[in-house]
Amino acid sequence: MYKKYRKTATVRAKIFEKGDEDGMTIPEGFTMLDAMENDRYKCGQPLVPYISTLENQKHRGEFGKHYICFGLYDEKWLVDKDIFERTYEEV
């Protein structure tokens, strides 16, 4: 039988803003060739900001639409703004 548990950890968090990202990458569905073509024709590169997670993955997000959270060991992750505001409360 399953039991219910509630997480009680405290995190530091803020709205994900320009300057918080670890880098920029091309969005899913685009290729490096697409990015090169956009640069060639001055269409602007379709770049998406990301942060590097504890597992060394590139976690993509959007400025103003995600919160960046920091855990006990300064690990970081992004949470959708709507989900964050429904599940976290300020202490």
Q: Cβ of 66: how many Cβ atoms within 10 Å? A: 24
List the pLDDT tens digit at each of the 91 positions of the chain.
888 887 777 889 999 999 998 888 877 666 666 666 665 655 655 678 888 888 777 888 889 999 999 988 888 999 999 999 998 888 8
The two structure tokens encoding residue 53: 């997670």
Determine the Cα–Cα distance for residues 66 and 16; give it in Å rounded to an integer: 5
Q: Give phi and psi for 63, each to the nearest 5.
A: -60, 135
**Per-residue buried b or exposed e for 12-22, using 16+ beta carbons within 10 Å of the residue's own CB:** ebeebeeebbe
Determine the Cα–Cα distance for residues 36 and 25; give it in Å rounded to an integer: 13
